[in-house]
Chains A and B, each alone.
Chain A
Amino acid sequence: MSWMRRFTNLFRQGRLNDELDEELASHIDEAIERGRSAEEARRAFGAELRHREQSRDIKLLPWLDALAADVVFGWRQLKKHRAVSAAAILSLALAMGATTSAFRLVDAVLLRTLPVADPARLFFLATTYIDGDGSPDYRDDFDYPTFRRHRKTVGDRADLMVVGMSARQDAAFGSSDETEKLYQQYVSGNVFGVFGLQPALGRLLAPHDDLTPGAHPVAVLSYDYWTRRFGRDTKVIGSKFRLGSARYEIVGVAPKGFTGTEPGAVTDIFIPSMMNAQAINSPGWSWFRIWLRPKTGVTPEQIRQSLQAVFSHEHQERVKSFPADTPKLTIDAYLSESVVLYPAASGASDIQKNYRRPLLILAVLVVLVLLIACTNVANLLTARAAARAREMALRVAIGAGRWRLIQLVVVESAMMAVIASTAGALFAGWSAPLVVSMLAPPEDPVRLILDADWRVLGFGIALTVTVTFLFGSTPALRASAVKPISALKGGEDPHSRFRLIHSLIAAQVAFCVLVLFVAALFLATFERLLNRPLGFSHQRALLVETEIRGKEQPPEIWAQVADHLRQTPGVESVALSGWALLTGNRWVCSVVVAGRAAEARSPYFLDVSPGFFETMQIGWIDGRDFRPGDVPPRTKEQNLPLAGVGIVNEAFARIYFDGQNPVGRSVEARQNKNSSAPLEIVGYVRDASYGSVREPIRPTVYVPIGDRANGTFVVRTAGDPLALAPILRREVSRARSEFRVHNINPQSALVRRHMIRERLLATLSFFFGGVALVLAGIGLYGVLNYSVIQRRREIGIRMALGARPAHVVRRVATEVFGMVCVGSLIGLAGGLACERFVESLLFEVKATDSGIVMMPILTLGAAAVLAALRPAIRAARIDPAQTLRSE
């Protein structure tokens, strides 16, 4: 309390003085009243001022007084070197802003705990598997029959919950037909109870809302959506909306702050899982995560073990039903799958899974940039401290304590850090949402809770303190270590003070090379992915996803709609496929060629209409296109196989026919465990990407499209494809009224979607690489420039004694460039060491590629030469006569 008073006293010195004056005056009055003469009383008192000072010194901690003086002095120092201070603060602000931004993202995606009861005891279930490329992965989506089995296994030892994936849907409120997009999430009836949530309005979903498939058309709004869409209107309870084929009644609003379970997605409406009626009894239809909370006294590992036991048993059983010719590798991989429980305290989402590593890598890059910026400022302050050695020496000589000097420099550092962190916070406020928008395609944006709360504030303060310490401590200690005698005499050992600066330069260069190295890896990855031949043209191609209300229709009807679309002005060609290339959908079916062992990985299948290859501009090699009336291989009742035709790609010919032309050959396409149908190859086309841009092109079999309830029209347009989108949407329904377009995307958007992570990493690492380079360049320039100024006298003497300018320049540059080389090597070694960590994010790029290794070195070398140019010229231009005279 008394400390607080001293502190407040600091800011009301005027009043304090008045109070003291008044007290002393009242004393004198008293004395006069008691009969002493006024003069005597006053004399006894002595100089009033002296008393005031003595009393005041006790009331005010002198330290605080000095602090205020330091702040004023520091501000004057900053203003005196305006350009240098501004550069330092700006670079620091940029780096701190980027760090804050990175923290906010990492916090929002990975760290922030859900606002639910006891989040630490929430888990989500996943099964590990080996993916097509042989690397381990996990899947965390399940079908409802599996959920039932798991629930039975676990019994009452844990609460098992269905937590659906937040999905973008069309909904129509009230009686209107206008649809709007909202994010909907299926949850089982126990979710709100287990999460311990209380409704903000109405009621939440309860177990009795989740008993019978299709029988519970009730919904709960999120608080956020209630605010945004309905302005917190309490009359919303009881109102209806249509979503899919059902009409729902709004029964309540979830508590404030709870926006679903997926970082990266914000749920607007919660719906009982039983309302996904068709999926309830469909094995293999995976549409939700399984969350669980073990009951008190039960460990997650116990739950996992019992689930694992059942899971292993099921797998053993299922292997028995595999076809006899299944390769052993496939079986082993299948049997090695296991159950895991991951902590769900911070939620669970694909964004989290896909961006965990990229975000951490970016965070590391950002911290490296921050270190570079700190080194810069430390160098700057050290140089300035050295230049102020005389001032410091004078302070020591007239009695300033060491602590007083340290305080002086620390105050100056802290002021810079505070200004920079404020500017940085503004920068973060602008850049964090920008990066969020880069995490996902604009059609389906990532929605993150990016509130600037106490966590962000706390981080900002911690960051400011750390940064002050990082760049302020060395200069402060140096300032305090000043030796008055040697400094006042005119300089100490000229080499000693450069040693520290030089090692800082080496560190800075090492960080910079590391950032550049990682940036080079990501840039090369993105560049290679971008230039990867897709095998088809995505220019001006529009994908019109269409569904039929009612039952599926034969290809002839679909062809009628396609014909109608072809009449639309601006349309060049139209074809139909089950789904578009690069949607991420895959249809896998095993194929056997007589006389060959089955392959471990089955080829992809895609059903397409005649004209698909022409529309997609997939190169033709041999054979013919599909004709109306062509059919795929299939089975009739009683498993009777029926022959069909197909068109295969180059990869298929390479693997199944050793690269020979397969047209006219026949293969067996497996239909189910016991039967396969013959497939005659009628066409042979060039390779085209199917599943993803990253994976090597897989053997692919195109088959004629059959009866379907949904499909995608591929439309090649003459002009801007998006301009045609609304027209095509209308025309489809005009062609046949039961046909309805539910989504339109340009094919190029699908291609872009596959590179979004790589684009993000490439863009941001390029940006940080540039910032690191500029900062390191400024640092080098500053140090060289400073060393030339400091050694003016030495250089002057050398030149007077006959040294040539080239010699002088070399002398100045050699040691600094030595440090640059050392730093580069350390940075490169660091880069190579961390390759393993980024490897999974790279595409056809190796850290040992000569180009990747050379890029950072050359860039940094160029920057170093550029930075050295001016100081070198300055050194060479030193006029010995002038320099020596001035000293």
Chain B
Amino acid sequence: MAKPDTLQGALDLLVLKILSRRAPLHGYAIMSAVEEISGEVLRVEEGSLYPALHRMEEAGLIRAAWITKGNGRRARVYELTARGRKQLASEEARWTAVTGAVQRVLKLA
């Protein structure tokens, strides 16, 4: 499988992280969680969020289920799989390494 680019990698990482804390969530909730926690700094585009969710679902990192909400509408909620948990750990480590390295370069260069 092709290597995901960095931006997508970041989005995936955020989604995985959020789902690891409070699952299960539907798409909109994930989107607002990212915005809230990041203090409105990070914004997730709907246009990238759903393809990313479906891709990760295909890859078996998250799984989806339909639930019926109070207003009678159905919503599709996502939660982490064991594989996704593993993926999150390695992605997080990679991210920390990369950002740490960037920090060092900014500080020392």
Contact = CB atoms under 8 A, between A and B. Distances in A.
Interface of A: 2, 19, 22-24, 26-27, 29-31, 34, 44-46, 50-51, 54-55, 58-59
B94 interface: no
A27 B28 contact: yes
A27 B50 CA distance: 10
B58 A51 contact: no
B40 to A, nearest CB: 14
A27 B74 contact: no
A24 B47 CA distance: 10
A23 B76 contact: yes
A547 B55 CA distance: 88
A51 B50 contact: yes
B12 to A, nearest CB: 13
B51 A58 contact: yes
Most chain B CB within 10 A, of A19, A34, A55, is at: A55
A295 B56 CA distance: 61
A44 B46 contact: yes
B98 interface: no
Q: Which bucket holds chain B's interface residue count?
A: 20 to 34
A443 B54 CA distance: 71
Contacts of B76: 19, 22-23, 26
Contact of A50 (B26, B47, B55, B59): B47
B50 A26 contact: no
21 contacts: A2-B58, A2-B60, A22-B74, A23-B75, A26-B28, A26-B75, A26-B76, A27-B26, A27-B27, A29-B71, A30-B28, A30-B75, A31-B28, A34-B28, A34-B32, A45-B46, A46-B47, A54-B47, A54-B50, A55-B51, A58-B58
Contacts of A27: 26-28, 46, 50
Chain A residues touching B, majority SS? helix
Given A26-B74, A44-B46, 11 more contacts: A2-B58, A22-B74, A23-B27, A24-B50, A26-B73, A30-B26, A30-B28, A46-B46, A51-B46, A55-B50, A58-B58
B29 interface: yes
Nearest to B46: A45
A814 B29 CA distance: 79
B28 A59 contact: no
B73 A58 contact: no
A23, A31, A50, most chain B CB atoms within 10 A: A23
A29 B73 contact: yes
B23 to A, nearest CB: 17
A55 B27 contact: no
A51 B75 contact: no
Contacts of B45: 44
Contacts of B29: 30
Contact of B54 (A26, A31, A59): A59
A23 B26 CA distance: 9
Contact of B55 (A22, A44, A58): A58
A521 to B, nearest CB: 61
In the complex, which of the residues B29, B50, B71 has the most CB atoms of chain A within 10 Å of its own CB atom? B50
Interface of B: 26-29, 32, 45-47, 50-51, 54-55, 58-60, 69, 71, 73-76
B46 A58 contact: no
Contacts of A46: 46-47
Given A26-B26, A27-B26, A27-B28, A54 B74 contact: no
Nearest to A33: B71
B59 to A, nearest CB: 8
Contacts of A45: 46-47
Contacts of B28: 26-27, 30-31, 34
A55 B54 contact: yes
A19 B76 CA distance: 9
A849 B12 CA distance: 82
Among B45, B47, B69, residue most surrounded by chain A Cβ atoms (within 10 Å) = B47
A23 B50 contact: yes
Contacts of B47: 45-46, 50-51, 54
Nearest to A2: B58
Nearest to A5: B58
A59 B56 CA distance: 11
Nearest to A41: B46
Nearest to B75: A26
Contacts of B73: 26, 29
A58 B54 contact: yes
Contacts of A31: 28
Nearest to B43: A44
Contacts of B27: 23, 27
A2 B63 CA distance: 12
Nearest to A56: B54
A55 B52 CA distance: 8
Given A34-B32, A44-B46, A59 B58 contact: yes
A40 to B, nearest CB: 12
A299 B68 CA distance: 72
A7 to B, nearest CB: 13
A50 B32 CA distance: 22
A54 B26 CA distance: 19
A51 B47 CA distance: 6
A179 B84 CA distance: 78
A51 B51 contact: yes
Nearest to A19: B76
Nearest to B27: A27
A234 to B, nearest CB: 55
3 closest A-B pairs by beta carbon, nearest first, are A30-B28, A23-B76, A26-B75
B2 to A, nearest CB: 12
Contacts of A58: 51, 54-55, 58
Nearest to A22: B74
A2 B59 CA distance: 8
B6 to A, nearest CB: 19
A412 B50 CA distance: 37
A468 to B, nearest CB: 30
A23 B75 CA distance: 6
A46 B27 CA distance: 16
B34 to A, nearest CB: 14
A24 B46 CA distance: 9
A770 B13 CA distance: 71
Of listed A27, A46, A51, residue having the most chain B CB within 10 A: A27
A42 to B, nearest CB: 10
A283 B76 CA distance: 88
A310 B50 CA distance: 86
A54 B51 contact: yes
Contacts of B46: 27, 44-46, 51
A306 to B, nearest CB: 65
